[in-house]
């Protein structure tokens, strides 16, 4: 659909070291569409609320997140708090770009721009973590995965891309010990001994043959809870092989539940991450915010 005025929030420290080329590609595209646009450089978190409020008050009819999952989540957090109807478009300019993949966008920036411009605006759910007073779009996790995120520095991600996560993952699996965790939902509660707890809002980034991929719906009003059972070093080797050859391998025998509210209480505090950003430690409560914001997705 055509947009008359576009505001691009550009994370200057996210993603690979191709900022100048990427910015020029976005500028050329928007100029070619004849739309009025402005690119704002994001260097500090406190800048975003003012920009979102400005877009809401003015005649901006599309907000673009130029960065990774954390960038999009920060903008979405402000849109949700304002109750804004301004749609959010996401460009794949981060390290993993899980949200962009889940929205059906191709990894190429130029292709993603074309898809976004002709995309559909839909209302999607979001997750909310009460202890941190923050929203997320992809997911939050507790335990080994969150520890992996904390160990992967921004500098290493810029230098090595997704390989930085892989190396941190090897270190984490070799050193992490499973913990006993109490999980409470709006439906029931139980105890698990687990490596990692994942609470997903969307899972379109997973391979199509993954058991969760067709089941996690970002517009169904519930969150999807995954508990990963203990893996071994041999299991890790299997996962690495899966990453290389694309064959499905799930040594953790993942437990899957759905809930509107999830509380995780381990005996000892564990790391917590949201949309690729470390945010603190447990205990933590995650809730769904149904139809929280408007997002541009790929046509169809």
More confident residue, 3 or 214: 3
Domains of the chain: 5-124 (3.40.50.10330), 134-290 (2.60.200.40)
Question: 192 pLDDT exceeds 70?
Answer: yes
Question: Rounded CA gap, 88 and 165, in Å?
Answer: 27
- Show the tokens assigned to 129: 């973590």
**251-273 pLDDT, tens per residue?**
556 678 899 999 999 888 888 98
Cα dist from 291 to 84, 89, 91, 295, whole Å = 12, 16, 21, 10
**3-state percent helix, strand, coil for the chain, nearest multiple of 5:** 30, 35, 35
Contacts of residue 133, Cβ cutoff 8 Å, sequence gap at least 6: none
Least confident of 101-105, 155-159, 278-282: 155-159
Instruction: Determine the pLDDT at residue 246.
Output: 47
Query: Which range, of 14-23, 47-56, 104-113, averages the lowest pLDDT?
Result: 14-23
CA-to-CA distance for 137 and 76, rounded, in angstroms? 8
**Among 32-36, 105-109, 116-120, 205-209, whose mean pLDDT is lowest?**
205-209
pLDDT in tens, 45-75: 788 899 999 888 888 999 999 998 989 999 9
For residue range 208-248, list pLDDT tens digits in order.
666 566 678 899 999 999 877 655 555 545 554 554 444 55
Distance CA 128, CA 246 (A): 33
Cβ contact 181:196 at 8 Å: no
- For the chain, helix (H) and strand (E) counts, in that order, are 9, 16
Residue 163: pLDDT band (50, 70, 90) is low
Please say if the pLDDT value at position 151 is more than 90: no
Answer whether residue 96 shows pLDDT above 80.
Answer: no
Q: Is the Cα torsion angle 53, 58, 59, 65 positive or negative in sign?
A: negative
pLDDT value of position 122: 95
Nearest to 201 by CA among 104, 136, 256: 136
Helix axes of 19-32 and 109-117: crossing angle, nearest 10 degrees:
30
Which string of b and e fits 43-62 if b means at least 16 CB within 10 Å? eeeeebeebbeebbeeebbb
Residue 128 in this model has a pLDDT that exceeds 80: yes
């Amino acid at each position: 659909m055509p947009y008359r005025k576009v505001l691009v929030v550009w994370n200057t420290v996210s993603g690979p070291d191709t900022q100048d080329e990427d910015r020029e590609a976005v500028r050329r595209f928007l100029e070619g569409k004849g739309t009025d646009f402005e690119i704002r450089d994001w260097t500090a978190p406190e800048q975003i609320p003012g920009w979102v409020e400005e877009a809401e008050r003015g005649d901006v009819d599309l907000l673009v997140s130029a960065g990774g999952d954390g960038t999009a989540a920060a903008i979405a957090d402000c849109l949700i708090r304002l109750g804004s109807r301004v749609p959010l478009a996401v460009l794949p300019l981060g390290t993993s770009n899980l949200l962009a993949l889940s929205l059906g966008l191709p990894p190429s920036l130029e292709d993603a721009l074309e898809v976004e411009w002709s995309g559909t605006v839909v209302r999607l759910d979001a997750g909310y973590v009460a202890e941190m007073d923050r929203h997320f779009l992809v997911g939050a996790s507790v335990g080994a995965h969150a520890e992996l995120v904390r160990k992967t520095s921004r500098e290493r991600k810029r230098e090595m891309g997704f390989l930085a996560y892989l190396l941190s993952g090897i270190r984490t699996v070799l050193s992490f010990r499973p913990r006993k965790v109490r999980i409470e939902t709006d439906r029931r509660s139980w105890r698990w001994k687990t490596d990692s707890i994942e609470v997903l809002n969307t899972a379109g980034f997973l391979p199509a043959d993954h058991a969760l991929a067709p089941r996690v719906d970002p517009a169904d009003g519930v969150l999807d809870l995954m508990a990963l059972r203990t893996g071994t070093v041999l299991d890790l080797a299997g996962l690495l092989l899966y990453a290389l050859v694309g064959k499905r391998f799930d040594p953790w025998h993942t437990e899957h539940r759905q809930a509107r509210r999830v509380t995780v209480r381990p005996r000892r505090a564990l790391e917590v991450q949201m949309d690729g950003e470390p945010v603190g430690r447990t205990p933590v409560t995650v809730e769904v915010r149904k139809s929280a914001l408007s997002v541009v997705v790929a046509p169809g």
